Amino acid sequence: MEISTKLRPMFCCLEQKMLGSQVSTKLNLTLNAEIFVMFLLSILLSLRIILYYIYLSAALTVRFLTRRFIGEYGDIESIYSHIDKTDGREIALNIWDSLYPQSCETTESISDKQMQWADGVILVYSICDRSSFEVVRQQVQLIRQTRKLSASTPIIIVGNKRDLLHQRAVSSEEGRLFALSAACGFFEISAAETYHGVLLVFHEILDLIKESKALKKGMVGIKGIVRSVSAVFGKKRE
């Protein structure tokens, strides 16, 4: 059926209104979806970890994220993002994989940029390489001395290559005693042999970071209460 010349403008106007309504509805749905995604991101607990290898290593981060073992990973520096779930809550986990410079003459430490970024630190040495363990000692001291990270910032020391016991150059007891004296967590693992040990390391650093953050919030709350009470009693004295 053909539309008469007089009615055609009216139908065109009605069609434009209907199309406009559909576009408006789609736009609102898109905006609502973006707001919902932003809301989900805002309620996720976001934690940032520096994983610092003292030797050319098997990548613990890749093992943790994919369960696959990669041999000599080389000097690739990367930041990985991962959603993990602990205690029924999802956590947005960011892991900065970094390698200690392999020059014998270097005395470099984790950079200031990394210090400001990190909530916690994992230092990895090889139990078959004493020099890598000595560098870990040095790095812990440098980290604790810097003002960028407080003494309460969690550090975990990891001795890797536990499967190569016949090549061991650093005893488990020596590593554990040093970690204890420096207020650090300690693990000896074999990233090559088992995924479970790597998983324990990451879950432990997550727990320590959450405890550290809760402690800081508690201290801030206590200071606020003290200030409020002081203000009240100060007014009464006046």
> What pLDDT does residue 230 have?
54
Residue 159 vs residue 30, higher pLDDT: 159
With 0-12 / 13-18 / 19 or more C-beta atoms within 10 angstroms meaning exposed / middle / buried, residue 176 is middle
Is the confidence at residue 159, as pLDDT, over 90?
yes
Span of 31-45, 101-115, 185-199 with lowest mean pLDDT = 31-45
Q: What is the pLDDT of residue 99?
A: 82
> Which of 70-84, 85-99, 220-234 has the weakest average pLDDT?
220-234
pLDDT tens readout for residues 193-236: 999 999 999 999 999 998 888 887 765 444 454 455 555 555 55
Helical residues (DSSP H) of the chain, grouped into ranges: 8-43, 60-66, 112-117, 130-145, 172-181, 195-237
Structure tokens given for 174: 């020596």
pLDDT for 188: 97
Using CB atoms within 10 Å of the CB of residue 145, give its burial: 0 to 12 exposed, 13 to 18 middle, 19+ buried: exposed
Report the distance separating Cα 21 and Cα 189, nearest Å.
61
Output the pLDDT for position 103.
Answer: 53
pLDDT range class, residue 114, cuts 50, 70, 90: confident
Find the mean pLDDT for residues 154-162: 94
Question: What are the structure tokens assigned to 41, written together?
Answer: 């991101």
Q: Is the pLDDT of residue 62 over 80?
A: yes
Concatenated DSSP letters for 125-149? EETT-HHHHHHHHHHHHHHHHSSSS
CA distances 91 to 85, 123, 203, Å, are: 6, 22, 11
Residues in CB range of 159: below 8 A, 6 or more apart: 125, 126, 127, 133, 170, 172, 175, 186, 187, 188, 189
- Residue 54 token pair: 């003292």
Instruction: Give pLDDT tens digits for 11-58.
Output: 455 445 444 544 444 445 444 544 444 444 444 567 888 888 887 665
Per the model's pLDDT, the better-predicted residue between 162 and 224 turns out to be 162
User: Contact 190/161 with Cβ under 8 angstroms?
Assistant: yes
Q: Has residue 6 got a pLDDT over 60?
A: no
Model pLDDT for residues 118-154, shown as the tens digit of each residue: 889 999 999 999 999 999 999 898 888 775 555 678 9
Quick one: average pLDDT of 168-193? Answer: 95
d(CA 132, CA 170): 10
- pLDDT > 90 fraction of the chain, expressed in percent and rounded: 30
